[in-house]
Amino acid sequence: MTSLASSSEKSVAINVDQLSFRYGQRAALNALNLQVDAGLLFGLLGPNGSGKTTLFRILSTLLPIQSGSVSILGVDVATQPQQIRHLIGVTFQSPSLDGKLTVYENLLHQSRLYGLSRETGKKRISESLSQLGLHSRGNDLVETLSGGLKRRTEIAKSLLHRPELLLLDEPSTGLDPAARIDLWRFLQQIRHDGQTTIVLSTHLMDEADRCDHLALLAQGELIAQGRPRDLKHDLGERYLSIQAADLDEMAHLLRSELSLDVQILPDQLRIDHPDPENLLTVIMERYRDLVLQITLGRPTLEDVFIQKTGHQFWGSPADEFSKG
C-alpha cells in the first residue's frame, strides 16, 4: 500500500486539533489538543467520563468529528476514513472473537476481511501467532481459552494487516494479574519488534506508569502530558497526606498559622512542600491532638491528577457521566 503521508508527517502518529464532541448538552471532549509521536507506547489515562473512550471511537472512525480535526500518520480522519482503516489496528474492550471457531479460524476470517490473499494471509497468521505466543494454540477453540489468551488473540487479529498504529481500548479489562503481566510483555515486544505505534486507554495507574508517554484527561480536556516519571517529578520528591476529624478546621489552621497551600480532598488533606520531613515534625508538635494520621509519600500519577484538577482520580466529577 502506498503511504499518503510525507515522512515529516509520519513522525507524528496522531494529531488532534481543537477536537470537541457533545452528547446532547454534555461536552465529552472540549477543544482537545493532543499529539502522539510515532513509535511510542502511548497511554490515555482518565476516570470514567474523562473523554478517552469518545476519543478512541473517533480515532477508530466509529464516531464522526463534530468540531476540530484529527489526522493519523498525516491522513485526515474526517475526509479519508477508509485510508485510516488501512493504517490502524483496533482491539476493542468488548470481545470480537467467535468462541465456536479455533484461534486459527478466527484469524483466517479476519485476514479475508482485510482482503489478504490466501498465501499472504497464512503467512501473516503464522507471524501473528508467533509474535503473541499463540502458535501452539492455533487449533484450540476460542471458548476454551483463558481471558489472557483471548485478549492476545484479539491483538493478533489487529496485527494481521501490519498496521502502523495499534489502538487498544482498556486492553487488560477482565484479566487476572498474571495475564495482565503477560499482556504488557507482549505489548512491549510488539513496540520493540517493529514500527508500530501503540495507543491504549486505561484507568489503571500501574498500567499508565508503564507507558513511554502519557496524556491525562479529565472532563474532556487534556490536563497533563509527558513521560510518567517526569509528570511525577514535577511535583517534587515527597508530599504529606493528613487525616483529621475535621478536615476544614485542620486546613484553616495550616493555612492561617503556617501559610501552607493545602488541598482538601474527601477523606484527607494533601500538602506539597519542599521540606516535607521537617514540616511533618512541625505539624505533629503543634496539632498532635487534631491529627488522626499523617503520611509522608512519593508522588504518584494520582497525585498529578489531584494537583491538576483539585480532586481525586476516583470519585471525581467526571464519574458522574457514563459516556466518554
Closest CA to 74 of 138, 150, 14: 14
Residue bearing cell 502522539: 36
Q: What span, in angstroms and rounded, lies between the C-alpha atoms of 281 and 292? A: 15
Closest CA to 290 of 310, 269, 275, 307: 269
User: Which positions ≥6 away from 254 have C-beta within 8 Å?
Assistant: 260, 262, 269, 271, 283, 287
Type of residue found at 261: D
More confident residue, 276 or 5: 276
Average pLDDT score over residue span 94-115: 93
Per-residue pLDDT tens over the stretch 219-247: 999 999 999 999 988 877 778 999 999 99
Residue bearing cell 497526606: 241
Q: What span, in angstroms and rounded, lies between the C-alpha atoms of 303 and 272? A: 10
Task: Output the pLDDT for position 276.
Answer: 87
Highest mean pLDDT among 15-19, 48-52, 189-193, 311-315: 15-19
Q: What span, in angstroms and rounded, lies between the C-alpha atoms of 261 and 101? A: 60
Average pLDDT score over residue span 111-117: 93
Q: What span, in angstroms and rounded, lies between the C-alpha atoms of 254 and 271? A: 10
Type of residue found at 129: L
Closest CA to 156 of 145, 313, 216: 145
Per-residue pLDDT tens over the stretch 35-87: 999 999 999 999 888 999 999 999 999 999 999 999 999 999 999 999 999 99
Is the pTM above the cut of 0.85?
no
- Maximum C-alpha span of the chain: 77
Task: Output the pLDDT for position 192.
Answer: 81
Rg of the chain in Å (alpha carbons):
23
Q: Are 84 and 96 in contact (CB under 8 A)?
A: no
